[in-house]
Amino acid sequence: GAVVSQHPSRVICKSGTSVKIECRSLDFQATTMFWYRQFPKQSLMLMATSNEGSKATYEQGVEKDKFLINHASLTLSTLTVTSAHPEDSSFYICSASQGAGNTIYFGEGSWLTVV
């Protein structure tokens, strides 16, 4: 299957700083990428849809100024958590669309801990 890579897999940052998470599609071009947030033992919550070359579409209740998403190329999308606070600590997962058959593939996820 298609491979989607996330980096870093774990990151610890201080409260008030910003942290960037990268999502790469390694063997296909992804016109659309998605960012999810998952709390322990809960389902995936879609945060935003990222389309290459255009502004991301955010889900209701997600602060676009806090969670900056950039999709600069067909293989890379980034999520920047700005002015992070402990409540932003979570598991962030990206996924990418291969473009056919509605199949999307997920990255391995990134654990963010804000201290």
Partner 1 sequence: QQQVKQSPQSLIVQKGGISIINCAYENTAFDYFPWYQQFPGKGPALLIAIRPDVSEKKEGRFTISFNKSAKQFSLHIMDSQPGDSATYFCAASKPGTYKYIFGTGTRLKVLA
Report the interface residues with partner 1, using CB under 8 A.
Answer: 1, 4, 6, 32, 34, 41-44, 46, 49, 91, 93, 95, 97, 102-109, 111
Q: Which of 2, 82 has the CB closer to partner 1?
A: 2
Q: Which of 14, 41 has the CB closer to partner 1?
A: 41
Output the smallest distance, CB 78 to partner 1, in A: 17
Looking at the chain, the number of H-run helices and the number of E-run strands are: 0, 11
Element (H, E) at 84: none
Nearest in space to 87 (alpha carbons), one of 33, 37, 21, 35: 37
